[in-house]
Structure 1
Amino acid sequence: MPAAFNHTIIASIDRAVSADFYRELLEAEQAPSWGPFANLTLADGVLLQFAEPPVEIQRQHYAFLVDDEHFDRAYALLCEREIPHWADPQMQLPGETNAGHGGRGVYLLDPAGHFLELITRPYL
């Protein structure tokens, strides 16, 4: 069997707040939580685990592939809640989306400061 991505831990200031943010934005499913983790599952079965580390959080980048309809809903949520977002990773084009790789994309920060990217077409 070839390797498949199974799960990741996303460092959070408040795991419940981060999990709720991702659940709404990604339309993820609530998953059973245990120990220090608040858990979600994505449509492909990948588990996102949110935890509060005892060290300073280092900004990470997480990119999620969504279909056009999901992108529209997520972008409407960003605009409705006035969540800052950019068309570019350098944060030079605020309040915009991009048309990279034949699709659409947007960048934003999650509640812990991680850099998220939503795209409608994969890079490769």
Structure 2
Amino acid sequence: MNTHEKKVTIEFNHLMIFAKNKQESASFLTEILGLPAPKPAAFFLSVDFSNNVTFQYAEPGVDFIMQHYAFLVAESDFDEILNRITEKGLEYWADPQQKRPGEYNLNHGGRGLYFYDPSGHGMEVITRPYGSDEIKG
């Protein structure tokens, strides 16, 4: 880094998630991931993550397209999440094309799976970040 360049420190803080029913979607996510219950914040329902990021669920009153959200979790948390998914009878897949139902993948040296939330958003749970199995030089 050039000594004249200022180091910029920027962190991601929050994201608004559109939902058909914010209580249903926010509660679904906290139950599946094992997070504290959502809390009201103005007209949002907020879900807080351990890295100081917040999902703020809102009901926009308009049609919206599906979004994709991926969560990096510990191996032990993955097992608990998979148990909650199967206990609720939810469909899940090892791949985003949904060609491997009821399975998880072993990508990037870890495990991962895909499922949908009540508003139709694609959710992904992974235990290793993408590219983490590549040799870094």
Give the alignment's TM-score, normalised by structure 2. Answer: 0.86
Within the candidate set 114, 117, 130, 1:123 is matched to 130
Gaps of 5+ in 1: none
Within the candidate set 13, 20, 27, 1:20 is matched to 27
Gaps of 5+ in 2: 1-7, 132-137
2:57 matches 1:41: no
Larger radius of gyration: 2
Letter in 2 for 1:107: Y
Counterpart of 2:103?
Answer: 96
- Matched pairs, number: 124
Deviation at 1:31, TM superposition (A): 5.3
Cα shift readout 1:61-111 (whole Å, capped 9, x = no counterpart):
000000001000000011111100000000111110000000000000000
The runs of at least 4 aligned residues of structure 1 exceeding 6 Å deviation read none
Instruction: Report if the CA contact (8 A) 2:25-2:119 is conserved.
Output: yes
Instruction: Report if the CA contact (8 A) 2:93-2:102 is conserved.
Output: yes
Change (3 A) 1:78 1:31: closer
Alignment of 1:45-56 (within 5 A): 45-56=52-63
Aligned residue for 1:29, secondary structure, equals coil
Aligned residue for 1:108, secondary structure, equals strand
Give the alignment's TM-score, normalised by structure 1. Answer: 0.94
Letter in 2 for 1:16: Q
Instruction: Report if the CA contact (8 A) 2:30-2:38 is conserved.
Output: no
Which deviates the most, 27-36 or 17-26? 27-36
2:80 matches 1:73: yes
Deviation at 1:35, TM superposition (A): 2.8
Letter in 2 for 1:45: N
User: d(CA) in 2 for partners of 1:4 and 1:35?
Assistant: 23
Which deviates the most, 99-108 or 35-44? 35-44
* RMSD of aligned alpha carbons: 1.2
Deviation at 1:20, TM superposition (A): 0.6
Deviation at 1:27, TM superposition (A): 2.1
User: d(CA) in 2 for partners of 1:18 and 1:31?
Assistant: 10
